Chains A and B, each alone.
Chain A
Amino acid sequence: MKKLILLLSLSLFTITSCSLDEELNDKITKENSNDLLGPDEALASAYRQLRSFQTFDFQFSLQEHPSDELAGPTRGNDWDDNGKWRSLHLHTWTPENEIIVTSWRELNKGLAFALDAQTYPLNSSQKAQAIFIESFYIFEITDLFGQVSLRKPGEDVSILPSIQLGRKEAIDYAIEKLEAVLEDLPDGTAVTSDIANKNAGNALLAKMYLNKAVYKATDQDGKPQIAITFLNDDLTKVISYADAALSGRSLTAASNFYDNFSPTNGETSPELIFTSKNTNSAAGDVYKMYRMTLHYNQNPSGWNGFVALTDLYNKFTPDDVRFTGRREGLTDISGIKTGILIGQQYDQNGTALISDGNNPLIFTPEFSLTNSSKSNGLRVIKYIPDYVNLDQPNNDWVFIRVADVMMMKAEAMARIGNTTGAMTIINDIRSHRNAPLLNTLTINTILDERARELYWEGHRRRDQIRFGTFLNPVQERSTTSDRHVMIFPIPLDDLSVNPNLHQNPGY
């Protein structure tokens, strides 16, 4: 009987001792995390999100593959990937394209982190930085997709976003928000370019004013318009914001051009205006920038993927430091050169590398989008492999640098009619890059110079649209494309969860 009582009391004990409160262990609920997750952390998360730009799986590929400077050929069975790269180059993508879907989601995720940060008690500088990041994302989404959804602070994801903007309104919204807090951004230097400082704020405003006309140009049928009317008011703003952005910054000596992309670029290059920070212990996927293009037998061993088009290659004069050259810390370690890799490839000792069988590894300008050999196509090295840690390199990702802003200013001047002023700026850049000075300048000279300076950095599609050349045939795309491809489609699943989004015309 004693045991019976014991058992009964034990059972009573078990009945009364249980609670269904969550034991979260390695996590904490947001409600209980006030002393952990504050303004500093929320802003840090928003900054960290900017790292998603560093991979070729997202926005980078949307800005580069459809352009006149990069393509992703299929090699044997490699890199076919259901044609996702091919369709980007051929302008035949569909809303299901994986790169389009993930870009849309990643950009909106970044936007959400910037918005979320603003729900914390930020100081004025922090608030301005969060708004800078918000504007930056709105600009990118507007540029690629033409529609932006926004939530007011505190709006839960279970309800639809309360603000819905078309591209005409979205660009004004982004500009207006950033202009309102521009003066609150911190002062900065090239070494602290990973913080959204005043230079970065001014540079982004210059960029948004320069592209604004693109987003205002829509045809009757809703498709983007090819002809773009730039307003002098906007162009004047581009010039003044560019001047402000360049204050305290300068171009580096020609021999140091690749310092912009070296493992220590954040510490050594004076040309950086806005970057995303990487270290050997905490880095984004910037390593993919070299792995995606190098051949397997190079060091680092690459994935033998993307190639440069001859349209790009043919733009250079031989001595241009941006074209091709040796670099200490790279060529002496692996034989790899900077810039565009063409012809026989060597190792650090000058021994010729081989590809299939005993064939020499020779990168050729020709390639076929559907059926390339392992050595077809020119390769590009801008970010210098970090041999300290090849998979977690220290190289900071460059969003905006001095030459880009200088060319924005030159372009604005040229569009206003001041070609002399524009040529002076372009020649200033060229003199710092070992390129012969120009005697004449047309608007397309600026587009070409932007290619030479900024190739494979994720700008090209936007530049070509602004200059009206995006739809033209290029190597391995023989037809002129329809206007609708100047904006990417909204992923179908996202259309379905948010009825306020509408598919872009033409898809």
Chain B
Amino acid sequence: MKNDLLRKLFILCMFFYIGFSYSQSITGKISSVDGPLPGVSVTVKGTANATQTDLDGFYTIKEADKNAILIFSYIGFKNQEIQVGGKSIINVMLKDEQNDLKEVIVVGYGSVKKKDATTAVETLKSESFNKGISTSPEQLLQGKIAGVQVTSASGEPGATNSVRIRGISSIRAGSDPLYVIDGVPIGGGDVSAGTANFGLGEQSARNPLNFINPADIASMDILKDASATAIYGSRGANGVIIITTKKGKKGAGQMTFNISNTISTIAHDYNLLTAAEFRAASPLNDKGSSVDAFKSILRTALTQSYDLGYSGGGENGTYRFSLGYLDQEGVIKNSSLEKYNASVNLTQKILDNRVTLESSLLTSLIKDQAPPLSNDAGSEGDLIISALKWNPTLSLYNPDGSLTRAENSEFNKNPQNLLQYYTDRTETIRVLSNMAATVKIIKGLDYKISLGVDYSNSNRGVGYSSLIEANRISNPNTPGMGGAASKSTVTRSNYVIENTLNYNTNLSEKFKLNALAGYSFQKFENKGNTFIGTGFGKYTDQNYYLKNITAARQYATSGNFAQLAYFDPSNKLQSFFGRAGLSYDDKYIFSGIIRADGSSKFGESNKYGYFPAASFAWKINKENFTPKFFDDLKLRLGWGITGNQDFPAGAASTLVGPVEGVPTIVNNGNKNLKWESTTQYNIGIDFAFINNRLTGSVDVYTKETNNPLLQVLVPVPALYSQAWSNLPNTKITSKGIEFAANYKVLNQNNFSWDFGANFSFNNSNIKGLDKDGYPTGIATGVLSGPGLGGTSQGHFDGQELYQFYLLQFEGFDENGISKYTDLNHDGQINDKDKAYSGSANPNFTLGLNTSLRYKSWDFVANGYGSYGREIYDNTENAIFNARALTFGNNVPKYILNNGENATENSNAPSTRYLQSGDFFRLANVTLGYTLQGGEKGFSPWIKSMRMYVTASNIFVITPYKGFDPEVNSNKSVNGIPSAGIDYSSYPKARSFSIGINLNL
């Protein structure tokens, strides 16, 4: 259709050419996505006739022949040639060169053109990021990249996300990819402190990646396959995400200013009984009022966000400064995140362009506030549990305005009391900076040195007023602790020095070589302390406790609420690495990587690990036999070995530390400790046809992790029952297929429409555990709540990872008692009747997105889904059953008449609480309208203004009954993370934003 159109246009032009051949003057406006472009040179092709655009991007060129061709060029943008064809006004939208260089991918210590890439790598530019409120970079790529699964732990502002690239290759904590931010590989682990458990459960740490302002990110490059990640050696097994922040461009200074305001409300909740329904169902517990306790802890949350950026550059350097402010409220009261960002990016060429200096500095201050929410609240429950089960006929307030105390207040806590008498505030400062100098030694040979520092300091204060309804702190009948407060500090730092030599040369006309050699040294430190005080006497304001914890009368030195100070062993990593790329005739490209990592963490016998990789690409479209139909067709083959060394420093040595002041051996050392290694094979095809309108890739991979690192059981008697060790016989295997495609349905000047889709299948399983001391598997997924406490899932020999292992629920018998399958037919229901019940790990994930541009309008929609996974609703298990109603607790409507005995049935964990977690989410939809500014536009001093509305989390299609199927409460056991368990998780919000992007 497009070709047809062009042909018609061409004929039309010819007609004009024949009929009306004369010179004319042409005017127009040149702009970029960001607004009008001043200083663009406009030349009539083949002549010296040229001009430049004015400050508002307007130009007039005289005496241009009507069949002349105009060339528009501007540094940093792609040249564009347009045939005059008799038009007198030609407006041009210049494309960002970088945008076109979309095809350039950062691969670690360098970059390659996408068309030359030999490995499975993908890049995501800022314009393709997810829209709406984002507090951390992972959210920007959720659903965008095949094989990258991002799962948010909950809907809480600043909650952590788990990112899994190509399934799971490790069963210990440490399955997240390596993040490299502006060249600095950052350490894993929390940068903020957790809290002590005073009965309402422990509160989790915050997402360590919140510190980056998403508005500062220019691109994210995802290295999925070992033949790419091997350049990061012992940290590459889970994939690598390279984040590059925005830099200035040559040209006059440009200011961008973004404002957005967002309203969020809860997207979905449990369909609880209303007061009237409760009264009818449980008349004995009728207290005469009508309240919605769950609603009482919710709010319509407002979020404001402001970003200011100023960038530009001259012949020898560029600059970009930015400021960001985000004030995000959560839909549950007292939960919020406030973030301040400032960043500077500079580049400067000196000594006749022989040396390039670059520096980037990212700084942030984050203030978090949280209500008493927890992943492990026991029978007491936390804020959400308390609100969900509150008797809807019992008023929250007494007639005098004071807070009601429920009967059995040890279990039934007034949610308003928990909100009012609890304070949890965290302040985290993080600074990441990198400075680099690149020296051109001779033609083709560059030397680069870079120094990076990542420093964070986090302070968390948690106060429980002596008036809070937490049994250990205050109880109507006992003195309790009389208030409690904890103050924690965590300081982490990371220094890195890297030296690389890069050599590019043409060995012959057809042979091209690119070689890299490098050395890096990195050091990580982690220290902190916690100070806990209890017994605040007459002081009842928990905020005061945090201001003056010396008001406490007790400070335990051992036991549950002891003071804590630590300075973990430093972790040092010294590496030598090299990469060579050789291409022949631009058809065959070979790349090889070797990295040697020496780590202070490894045992004496294994100080250095070696990680090789090789990959090969064949550009089939360059062969003569390939039909012209293909614009691109490339076969990629890759193999590589990568490692994972995410275990605590010091685990290799037998250590002595004070226990109650007495020097004591504190672990079982293991001198043979080493990284776990993952071997990956990848076959992929990149394709493009129909004039590059349909582009995409297909990848098939298999990964096998050997020597997985784990705290394993040692034969007793032993000082400690576990030691860090590599399991010799266990293998974790992931196999999968990824498919990604993008189709430009329409690609015209005023009207373009893109459609993108990605799918991935993955299966990760584990074998050999029985030979390594785990015949019954490695259990995790501890359940919480009254009477609950065992584990619900685990990793079992020959099974998919994160397999639920449960009693098989068959329904209720005639007495309303739960029936379970007696699998071993011994007439008893016990542990031996548990069966594998499905994995929490999805088999199939997909992402769909579309973008449309029509004249000044733009529209984007993104969705993603996940299938073949189970979720265990621990919340339902803990509080939603027929008996709860008898006790005067609220339940969802589906509990009524479910056939369950209301006085005697037990809520033993079983498949009763296991549900399909399949879902598809329409994640965000944005509609924008851009007004062109400038002298002839709506405002002389504004280059352009875009106004937009975004709706986030518009709907979710899922059979899951809980708040949201995308959930991952932390129910880990002995450092083995869980997956797919929902306990008292923070509900997700649905949000509507309006915003303005200004270019000045």
Contact = CB atoms under 8 A, between A and B. Distances in A.
A and B pair up: yes
Interface of A: 1, 3-4, 7-8, 10-11, 14-15, 17-30, 33, 36-37, 41, 44-45, 48, 74-84, 87, 92, 94, 96-98, 104-105, 108-109, 111-113, 115-116, 149-151, 157-158, 160-161, 281-283, 296-301, 334, 347, 353, 356-358, 370-371, 387, 389, 391-392, 492-498
B662 A41 contact: yes
Contacts of B630: none
A338 B568 CA distance: 46
Given A29-B653, A108-B721, 18 more contacts: A14-B521, A19-B572, A20-B600, A27-B666, A30-B655, A48-B659, A48-B660, A81-B787, A82-B831, A82-B908, A158-B714, A297-B475, A299-B479, A301-B410, A356-B407, A392-B556, A497-B713, A498-B715
Interface string B715-753: 111111101000000000000000000000000000000
Interface stretch (B170-178, B222-230, B309-317, B771-779): B771-779
A282 B599 CA distance: 37
Interface stretch (B361-369, B609-617, B618-626, B899-907): B899-907
Contacts of B776: 96, 492-493
A27 B658 CA distance: 8
14 contacts: A11-B447, A14-B521, A20-B572, A20-B598, A33-B656, A79-B787, A108-B716, A281-B558, A299-B475, A301-B471, A301-B480, A391-B560, A391-B561, A497-B714
Contacts of A15: 499, 519, 521
B717 A30 contact: no
B591 to A, nearest CB: 25
Contact of A83 (B355, B657, B773, B830): B830
Contact of B716 (A4, A30, A492, A498): A498
A298 B600 contact: no
A29 B650 CA distance: 9
A334 to B, nearest CB: 8
A30 B471 contact: no
A115 B717 contact: yes
Contact of B663 (A4, A37, A112): A37
A45 B664 contact: yes
A347 B411 CA distance: 20
A247 B315 CA distance: 98
Nearest to B718: A157
B713 A37 contact: no
B975 interface: no
Contacts of A94: 830-832
Contact of A371 (B567, B662, B903): B903
Complex A-B, nearest 3 residue pairs according to Cβ-Cβ distance, in ascending order: A80-B787, A108-B716, A82-B790
Contact of B908 (A8, A83, A353): A83
A109 B830 contact: no
B715 A161 contact: yes
Nearest to B526: A25
B607 interface: yes
Contacts of A495: 775
Nearest to A354: B407
Contacts of A334: 478
A99 to B, nearest CB: 11
Given A27-B657, A112-B717, A161-B717, A80 B908 contact: yes
B811 interface: no
A502 B379 CA distance: 38
B649 A4 contact: no
A44 B659 CA distance: 10
Main SS class of interface, B: loop
B856 interface: no
A485 to B, nearest CB: 14
B881 interface: yes
Given A80-B906, A82-B908, A25 B567 contact: yes
- Among B408, B481, B715, B887, max chain A CB count under 10 A is at B715
Main SS class of interface, A: loop
B532 to A, nearest CB: 12
Nearest to A36: B663
Interface residues of B, number: 105
Interface in B651-684: 652-657, 659-660, 662-666, 668-670, 672
B768 interface: no
Contacts of B883: 76-77
A366 B718 CA distance: 43
B496 to A, nearest CB: 10
Contact of A30 (B599, B654, B723): B654
B567 A41 contact: no
A68 to B, nearest CB: 22
B477 A27 contact: no
B713 A494 contact: yes
B775 A493 contact: yes
A29 B656 contact: yes
Nearest to B499: A11
Nearest to B907: A77
B830 A301 contact: no
Nearest to B602: A20
Contacts of A78: 379, 786-787
A309 to B, nearest CB: 21
B785 interface: yes
A28 B478 CA distance: 44
Contact of A392 (B559, B657, B672): B559
B788 interface: yes
A116 B565 CA distance: 27
Interface in B451-507: 471-472, 475-481, 497, 499
A358 to B, nearest CB: 8
Contacts of A23: 569-570, 572, 600
A41 B664 contact: yes
A92 B830 contact: yes
A76 B351 CA distance: 79
A252 B804 CA distance: 56
B767 to A, nearest CB: 15
Given A496-B774, A497-B773, A371 B904 contact: yes
Nearest to A304: B410
A245 to B, nearest CB: 27
Nearest to A385: B478
Contacts of A96: 776, 831
Nearest to A12: B499
Nearest to A102: B721
A28 B657 contact: yes
Interface in B774-811: 774-776, 785-790
Contacts of B407: 356-358
Interface in B555-599: 556-561, 565-570, 572, 574, 598-599
B125 interface: no
- Among A4, A33, A149, A496, max chain B CB count under 10 A is at A496
A80 B788 contact: yes
Given A111-B717, A151-B717, A498-B716, A37 B558 contact: no
A315 B652 CA distance: 56
B557 A14 contact: no
Contacts of B786: 76-79
Nearest to B569: A24
Contacts of A353: 477
